[in-house]
Copies of this chain bind each other. A is one copy, B any other.
Amino acid sequence: MDAEEFRRRGKEMIDYVAEYLENVEQRPVYPDLEPGYLRSLIPSEAPLEPESYEDIMKDMERVIMPGITHWHSPYFFAYFPAASSYPAMLADMLSTAIGCIGFSWAASPACTELETVMLDWLGKMLQLPESFIAGTDGQGGGVIQGTASEATLMSLLAARCKAVRRVQTYTSDKSEVEIFSQLVAYTSEQAHSSVERAALIGGVMIRKVPTDSNYAVRGDSLKKMVEEDKAAGLIPFYVCATLGTTPSCAFDQITELGPICNGENMWMHIDAAYAGSAFICPEFRPLLNGIEFADSFNFNPHKWLLVNFDCSAMWVKKRTDIIGAFKMDPLYLKHENQESGGHWQIPLGRRFRSLKLWFVFRMYGLQGLQAHIRKQVALAKEFESLVRADKRFEICAEVVLGLVCFRLKGSNELNQNLLKKITNSREIHLVPCQLSGRFVLRFVICARTTESRHIQQAWQHITQLTFEGLQFQLLTIKY
């Protein structure tokens, strides 16, 4: 394919993409397939000779589309949103074309520098403390990671390195691994599985702190665990607090946790993967109060800020904490401007992801992005009202942002059956969570194009299935 053909096929592809996104709500949101469906639809080996482009595009509808869970359907209410917007998609095309691998300043100055400046822009939009802003001479700053999992892992590893150095200053005979065996990390029992995974990778213990009735970690609970562990000769070194947990969008009380972390020399990382985007609105910014105590902070613009995956924003107060934990430069990576960029993440190579932020910030403006967040929160509130108005249902956690946790009053089995029917009907898509041992349905406003009518239809659909379910139960009881 030469440039001429690319011009033609590329423009066709733009139309295909626009058509897909404009009409995605007409497709079943969840596929009706058995695992392994795809293998039999295509050859078992790559072709020796080139195939025609037409045949490949035909296979999009024959092979791929039937197996897609449509994350951008306005009837998709599962997991958390995967951000998508036209400006981000255009920027991504540019990023692919430039195709630089930004592992150092020299490998692509614009890539490294735009990233730092965009993270400053974003940090200011969130009103992060000055210490997280790079500016021209700050000690802190931001970096784009692929996912929140990577940000968590990086923060834990930096904290581990710092803790080892600290312990070794007063007990110089202790080996690194000996110290590892005493280190303890803490996170909420409601935290994302990636936190436990990070500890597993880093070879350190992790303790899950129990939460209060709002599923939030409080200062007292952490304090108690830390005291116990210290008494047992262990070394508390890291806390990962969550703002907006995955099950119920609960907010750990970071104003309580922060002083404990600072007082005990524990690294405080804040994971706001989903909720972080909302902090650009002044009315939600108080949820971030306490950030001043944190050593690192992360959230995913690729979840809720209209920037397509992947783009996870991470800030640290001291860049040297992260860079110092990993730096090792062979000659082929050395260059004159060593300190700018690179070495903040697990992968060495990285795409030019800040272009997406730049395009989205400028095409929407801060006000446009705020409007997006507010609209989606309002839609969640609308769904909450519908649930509350139906006495058969209950709301299971406070609705703060775009997630509504609800269930039928009654057994877990009843709710499992309802969810199974929802999934099988393929008209809307949800996933469950567990809260206090109860099986709960999570309803998240996801697609950028979700409107009130989709919420109303979704609710109608749920109640319809509920009614059928109850009828069936009555029948079963009768006979």
Contacts and interface: CB of A to CB of B under 8 A. Distances in A.
A129 interface: no
A94 B14 CA distance: 9
Interface stretch (A341-349, A378-386, A460-468): A341-349
Interface residues of A, number: 140
A72 B85 contact: no
A38 interface: yes
Contact of A109 (B35, B120, B157): B35
B46 A362 contact: yes
A46 B366 contact: yes
A439 B330 CA distance: 12
Interface in A124-166: 124-125, 136, 146-147, 149-150, 153, 157
Given A36-B136, A46-B362, A362-B47, A149 B11 contact: no
B92 A6 contact: no
B364 A89 contact: no
Nearest to A347: B147
Contact of A97 (B21, B193, B197): B21
Interface stretch (A173-181, A210-218, A283-291): A173-181
B309 A99 contact: yes
A272 interface: no
B11 A11 contact: yes
A107 B69 contact: yes
Interface in A82-104: 82, 84-87, 89-90, 92-94, 96-101
A125 to B, nearest CB: 6
A203 interface: yes
A50 B3 contact: no
Question: Which of A56, A136, A150, A364 is most buried by chain B, counting CB atoms within 10 A of its CB?
Answer: A56
Interface stretch (A225-233, A256-264, A429-437): A429-437
A1 to B, nearest CB: 4
Interface in A297-351: 302, 308-310, 326, 328-333, 337, 340, 346-349, 351
17 contacts: A6-B89, A7-B14, A10-B86, A33-B109, A35-B109, A37-B109, A46-B366, A67-B109, A67-B110, A68-B108, A68-B111, A82-B100, A149-B346, A177-B177, A194-B348, A201-B201, A203-B203
